[in-house]
Amino acid sequence: MLGGSVYIAFIRFAVSLAGVILMFSRISESRFGRKKTIVCYGCFSVVVLILASAWYVADWKSCVRIVAFAMYTCFAVVAIILSSDSVYLSIYKLALTFYLLAVFLVGGLEVAIIFFDRNIWADIIARVILILFMIIYCETLTSEWPKKRRLPLYKL
């Protein structure tokens, strides 16, 4: 991590958690309606972010080492409960989501370290941009738009 105050840590936790929730909710069907799902994920996020920030203040060294593992383990349990898919399919979709999480976390850190001299805000902005790019890219892959616009191979 690049360090920073508890406010910066809170923003990083929130961006990362929101990114994971958005990515997982785009590829998984919820067991409940849209409003109830948003409320469940919202309440979960508030509780996890408060606990993670309190942990950051109380014991910085152990928090930096383990807080991400604890947050995303809790998210995995909540996501499996909220998903209408089978447990095995939910775990498969979580694996893809956590892979994308690793890409935008490492990508944001590397952009901040290499191009912006370890600037904390560059890390946060790069994470947001990478999350948006991944969501838009996944949407274009799964939508009907590319299928309608694709040229048949025999006409080439």
For the chain, domain boundaries: 6-155
Q: Is 154's pLDDT higher than 70?
A: no
63: closest CA among 76, 78, 48, 43?
A: 48
Q: What is the pLDDT of residues 7-53, one digit of tens each?
A: 998 999 999 999 999 999 988 989 999 999 999 999 999 999 999 99
Q: Is 156's pLDDT higher than 80?
A: no
Q: What is the pLDDT of residue 149?
A: 55
Given a contact cutoff of 8 angstroms between Cβ atoms, the answer to whether 56 and 141 are in contact is no
CA distances from residue 56 to 4, 41, 61, 76, 142 in whole angstroms, order as listed: 11, 22, 8, 21, 38
Instruction: Report d(CA 126, CA 53) in Å as an integer.
Output: 22
Lowest-confidence range among 105-109, 136-140, 144-148, 151-155?
A: 151-155
Higher pLDDT, 1 or 23: 23
Q: Is 119's pLDDT higher than 50?
A: yes
Q: What is the pLDDT of residue 145?
A: 56
Angle at 56 between CA 38 and CA 36, to 5 degrees: 10
Q: What is the pTM of this model?
A: 0.84
Query: Alpha carbon 11 to chain centroid distance?
Result: 13
3-state per-residue secondary structure call for the chain:
CCCCCHHHHHHHHHHHHHHHHHHHHHHCCECCCHHHHHHHHHHHHHHHHHHHHHHHHHCHHHHHHHHHHHHHHHHHHHHHHHECCCHHHHHHHHHHHHHHHHHHHHHHHHHHHHHCCCCHHHHHHHHHHHHHHHHHHHHHHHCCHHHHHCCCHHHC
